[in-house]
Each structure stands twice: as C-alpha cells, then as structure tokens.
Structure 1
C-alpha cells in the first residue's frame, strides 16, 4: 500500500485533489475518510464526485446516512457520524453497498464503522493545520496511478509527524 501526503491551502485545491481521485478510482473501490469535524471530508467528496462526472450538488448525508449518485461509477456516499455503532450501519443495509462492481464507496466518519470495513479499503486522513490548510494523507493500492505532481506544494512534513497523525485515526475509537 502506498502513502501520498499532500497539502491543500484552500477549498479549490481540496476539490481538485478529489477530482483526481474520482477520475482514477477503479470500480469497486472503498475510500474511508478520517478526520475531525471541519477537516474537509465533504469538500473532498464533492471533488471525487466531480471526477466521476457527477454534476448534481453533493451534500453530506448526515441525516440520511447514505446518498447515491450516478457518474462514471455509481457513487455511494456514506456519512457514519450519527451511527451509534457498526451494527446500526449493517441494519441500514449500508454494508451490502460497499465495494460493489461499478461503484465507488466514500465513507465519512469511517472510524465509527472501522471494524467492518474490508481490508482492501483505501484511507484518506485529513488534518487541519494551524494556518487553516489541510494535510491530506492518502493510503491505497491504486493511488500511484494518479499524477500528483500538479498538487505538489513546496512544503515539508516529516514522516514521523505524518505517521503520528495517521496513527491517531487508526487507533480504536470509542463513542459515548
């Protein structure tokens, strides 16, 4: 699995990164977003949808849990924020929609259902920096197929710092 670390100074750049992901995502992919409230997960999802050729407005399905859109791939946009646990997600039928041929599954607040995500899930961790920019860490098997050169911003993030940020979201989370 590869790791790409990018910096996004603004919404426009975050959407552009999402578009690149949407254009390259293979059929059946599952992408789990990790990050705090306001980190830019929905903004990145909007870019992914644009990369899939979806023109309708994308909003986070916080209350409906699952929203579906048709583009180059069938987009299954999941927001697990309001879920109490993994069982509740299974009861919604969401687990059956993950990784279907011809689809791309995006999961916001994936920490809440981490235990049922398949091992082939790709992860994107987003962290807000003090200056308001975002660090976007993308872990996946197919991300090497994207030409990331146009997104490179002269900025250095040491690997130890990046590893600590990723570990923060990999640890088991408990929600009261």
Structure 2
C-alpha cells in the first residue's frame, strides 16, 4: 500500500519512490514465477492529476521456473512497466452521476488516499512473462521415446519402429537365402 496524502490533491505535484517489497504469493504462471517473499524492486513516480493519481514506473524481480521443452530449471530477471490511474472516490461518483466518462468496475480507485499495488504488479508481471519460457532459444527438448534431454546428447537416436504391415518382409530378410541351383 502506498500513501498518497503527501501529494495532496494538487494537480502537477509529483513524488518519486524507490522501494523494495516482498513478492506476493503466486506472482507468475505455472512454469515461471517470482518466488514468494523475494524482493521486487519498484521505481515509481506518483503524479497528482485532476481525476486522481497517475502511477508510472517499473518493477524488477528475479524469476524461477522450468523450461517448457526440457524441464531444466530456469533463473531469469523480469522488468515490467507499470502505469495506472487511481481515481479519487468522489471523481468516480461524479462520473457515474453525470455519465460523462467511461469509469467502470475495472477502474482503479484510491481508498483512504492509499494505493494497493498488488493487482497492478500482478497484471504487469504476468503480462510481461514469456508465454513458453525456454532455457535457451533453440532448446531441442526431450526425446519423445525415452525422455532423454536432447541438448545433452545431440546425436541421440532410436531405431525406427517397423510398420506392422511390412513386418513379414523383415522376417523374409532374416531367413537364410537358399540358392535354387544347389
């Protein structure tokens, strides 16, 4: 929670903050996330505007997860851009009465001059994550037959299975050939 009382309701007043906050639970996707409690570095600018407080900045955090192709552990860092307008409660009520602006339930509101950063942080981090995290761009993945990691053994092969329709020919090839002239 960020306190915005220092800004007052004077449009144009600004405040810059550098914070380190613990990561909330389940900040990420199933295969890649920010570990719960690890530090999230926030570089923020709060600016009072007519409607409320405009928050802009960046969030930087350490990621842990696994490659979706080979399941090897991954460690990386994420830099997410944050931008959100937090509307004063009375501004939201005025807009609803006059129906002069499109402020719906998705509009972020200031509550007691406090900003709850968790929903904004969660949205920004999840949207900045790669859809399919890889340990390296050209990760070959796992062998579909035995599960061996193909990056460790690039020459890994298996004997190709024989089509059952041709299995009879395989038996003929295995039998010793008799010369009819004998």
| TM-score, normalisation: structure 2 | 0.22
Give the structure, 1 or 2, with the largest relative contact order (CA under 8 Å, sep 6 or more): 1
Name whichever structure is richer in strand by fraction.
Answer: 2
Which of these two proteins has the greater Rg computed from alpha carbons? 2
